[in-house]
Structure 1
Amino acid sequence: MRARYVELFGMRPLFQDYLLRGANWLSAPKPQLRDELYLVDEDGLPALGEAEPAFEAANVLRLGRDVFYQVSRSGNELGLRWLESTLRLLGDVRVHPIRGLYNGTHIDSTIAFLRPGLVLLNPARVTPETIPEPLRGWDVLWCPPIEERRVPALPYTLSTPWVGMNLLMVDPEHAIVDADQTALIAAMEKRGITVIPHTLRHARVLGGGFHCVTLDTVRDGGPEDYLG
């Protein structure tokens, strides 16, 4: 999206500080965003071409030493190729491409890791037969129907109502969840997760929920193997 070209510039002082304190600073190739990158599929919907590597971070979920990458209109195959080649330089990191589940943007309204062995899945996009292979042995919590109690501020929104399952796990026992999602909150509490209800009023208009608007630059622990 051309409108977001300079979005990360606000983070540069933070990244520069980390660099001076000994961190490694890697950056994906800045796309030229030429017209041939912006295509239309057979249904008349926007599609992402392969003119250059292009993906956004919201197309990626990290699970310890494993990384899940959604090939979609916000992440192409060349972007996957670049990410795989770069992560190989960092050590034993496994990249799992996800194809055919959802062609829209952002992976975290389709798959959300709650704790080791428990995953929240979007039943409108994932079926028992299409669960990604590395997660087939995990316990699945199927997201209840999304409750939308507010009319979006604008007639056109960047996100579907499923942004309501876009939650933030603070740790394996605590989650920040959209306060309107009472059925989801109840289902998570039955699994022993303490939920902190919160309101992000314009999530659909802005195109992101609690997971999307959070950039955790420091994490406890190392590259755990949750799938081994």
Structure 2
Amino acid sequence: MTTIPVVNSHDEFTRLRQVIVGRAEHYTDHHVDASFELFFYDNITLQTGTGQTLLPIPPQLTDELNEDIAGLVDALTGCGVDVVRPAMPGKNIDIRSPLWDARATPALNVRDNTIILGNTIVETAPHVRARLFENDQLKPLFYRYYDEGAKWLKMPQPALAHGSLDDAYFRRQGIDVSHVTDADTALAIDGLGLEMIFDGAQCMRLGRDILINVANDNHALALRWLKDNFPELRFHVLDGIADSHIDSVIVPLRPGLMLLRDPKYLDYLPEAMRSWDVIVPPPMDESAFPDYSDFGFAIASRYIDINVLSVDENTVIVNALYRELITLLENLGITVVPVQHRHRRLFGGGFHCFTLDTRRDGGPEDYLG
């Protein structure tokens, strides 16, 4: 019997053996500066272009989020998955660079700042300043994996200086975001220009093939870096399918079957995937979820609930409050593990976002050959 390496994750759907589940303790605020506003521009409803603001999150909502994360951990453990956690974050940690300061975000959405490519841990280059040091909470795990034989790479850490974020995605759509960029209080670095900025959740892994969203020059630099470091992989560019993350747009459930937000997105995909069976998520009963309009910062879209996590090719963890999707999947013969997740739009992540699968059974298969 072949032993699976300590880090082995080539896809999104083969049998899950180990996963990192993020933490939300002390998630008390959203630090809203230009980097935050640009990243969540499509969804936030607060008045933008104000420089920076610390928006408090009601403690009860953080407590409820932690209850729901505990439910996710229990569900994964019940499915036979080994769950590991980041270090406990400190309370109200302020971070500072020579160019800006921010209130640090806990390591909750651990899919964003790391991508596992086979047996290699790849730390990516965050878009949001408050998230620049999140992975410090994962370093105890990463050092353990490294000691046990995993490879470990890190993209160049961005300075996130004034003017380093590319707004091309918005300009192509005729959206003027100058009121945000002009109000940015960060300092510039003379001659720096656009930086390599990229999140792991801009990728979907299919064995030796990687779907990768490239919406601007920040992302294009990251794609170049990935190609340089992983010449054995085939990167399929989804040209601006979204502003950044794609795990609420397309979710491969197994070879030949995917969740897709809308059939119109098929045109972005590699030709080999356009003949796959497509599950379009049904409309949901929004009354089942909290309304954050009074707070003004529901930072995730209503599509966040297709951000599901596969335990294997026939078993999927789905938000228990999205009953319509559960019914659809079950009618198609898929086993659903329902887990309550109330505040996904406030904290900007679903079950795929909250997790980083470090060990799956699959290898570098050719699913698109």
User: TM exceeds 0.5?
Assistant: yes
1:97 is aligned to: 237
1:197 is aligned to: 338
Q: Using a 3 Å threshold, how does the CA distance of structure 1 residues 37 and 146 change in structure 2: closer, same or farther?
A: farther
TM-score (norm 1): 0.89
2:255 counterpart of 1:116: yes
2:155 counterpart of 1:15: no
In 2, are the aligned partners of 1:146 and 1:165 still within 8 Å (CA)? no
Where 2:236 maps in the other structure, the secondary structure is strand
Percent identity over the alignment? 41
Q: 1:80 aligns with which of 216, 219, 223?
A: 223
Q: Which moved more, 1:185-194 or 1:67-76?
A: 67-76
> Please, which runs of 5 or more residues in structure 2 have no aligned partner?
1-127, 182-192
How far did residue 73 of structure 1 move?
6.7
2:299 is aligned to: 158
Aligned partners of 1:9, 1:170: CA distance in 2, in Å? Answer: 27
Where 2:252 maps in the other structure, the secondary structure is strand
How far did residue 133 of structure 1 move?
2.5
2:283 counterpart of 1:145: yes
Letter in structure 1 aligned against 2:176: G
How far did residue 11 of structure 1 move?
0.7
How far did residue 179 of structure 1 move?
1.2
Q: Using a 3 Å threshold, how does the CA distance of structure 1 residues 74 and 65 change in structure 2: closer, same or farther?
A: same
Aligned partners of 2:166, 2:252: CA distance in 1, in Å? Answer: 32
Aligned partners of 2:284, 2:216: CA distance in 1, in Å? Answer: 23
Aligned partners of 1:74, 1:5: CA distance in 2, in Å? Answer: 19
In 2, are the aligned partners of 1:68 and 1:98 still within 8 Å (CA)? yes
How far did residue 221 of structure 1 move?
2.6
Q: Which moved more, 1:15-24 or 1:145-154?
A: 145-154
Rg (Cα) greater in structure: 2
Where 1:79 maps in the other structure, the secondary structure is helix
2:361 counterpart of 1:220: yes
Aligned partners of 1:28, 1:128: CA distance in 2, in Å? Answer: 30
TM-score (norm 2): 0.56
Where 2:146 maps in the other structure, the secondary structure is helix
Aligned partners of 2:139, 2:285: CA distance in 1, in Å? Answer: 37
How far did residue 38 of structure 1 move?
2.7
Q: Which moved more, 1:146-155 or 1:210-219?
A: 146-155
Where 1:70 maps in the other structure, the secondary structure is strand
2:267 counterpart of 1:126: no
In 2, are the aligned partners of 1:111 and 1:122 still within 8 Å (CA)? yes
2:130 is aligned to: 3
Q: Using a 3 Å threshold, how does the CA distance of structure 1 residues 166 and 73 change in structure 2: closer, same or farther?
A: farther
Aligned partners of 2:349, 2:264: CA distance in 1, in Å? Answer: 20
User: What is the CA RMSD across the aligned residues, in angstroms?
Assistant: 2.3
2:162 is aligned to: 35
Q: Which has the higher contact order (CA 8 A, sep 6+)?
A: 2
Number of residue pairs aligned between Structure 1 and Structure 2 = 222
1:55 is aligned to: 198
Aligned partners of 1:205, 1:73: CA distance in 2, in Å? Answer: 26
In 1, are the aligned partners of 2:206 and 2:367 still within 8 Å (CA)? yes
How far did residue 214 of structure 1 move?
0.5
